Structure 1
């Protein structure tokens, strides 16, 4: 997650919406989580264009979309966050893309993105991969 900046109420609002998405997802309410993540992204795009938080939100939205089974959209959103997150050692977009490609039956792409995630954080990511 990006560093919280208490001086920026616009960023705080985007983070508050994203937090609601995290909480909904943790309770298994994935469609609701997508709504909050999408609202956070819309807010960030409107009020914080080009800010780092937008990439972090995209990674969360991509993961939430995967949880709802919207794998094509999950891949598209996660791809927008991939370079930013990878540069910071954050594997979520790569792992999300790997899982989505696997579910879509594209084993080659799934393996490529799993390898990308492993390159960022090592074999510990395999537990998450095997979990689903």
Structure 2
């Protein structure tokens, strides 16, 4: 049974989504989140690592491995089962919220009329051809 969670930030959502296909290092998370969000999520390095730390503390993600590349440590993160459940729950919440609007707009789209144009708008009455 899923426990009630608060709404997830867009950055957290796309970080978790980026990790669904497997472990990634920080820069790869930034690029994947940017791609998957259509460019809406542009994470600064400091913002990303703060989010990764918070998400690790919340057990949404965990360190998969570390390696040294060009003398610098590179840490890879993976989504946990708790993180996978959280992002799937959020995706369901977003889909349900979207359905409220998308289901309604198809049925109740306003009729477009040429108001303010033609002889009828000038008070000449209907035009009979």
What TM-score do you get using the length of structure 2 for normalisation?
A: 0.25
Higher helix share: 1
Higher relative contact order (CA 8 A, sep 6+): 2
What TM-score do you get using the length of structure 1 for normalisation?
A: 0.25
Higher strand share: 2
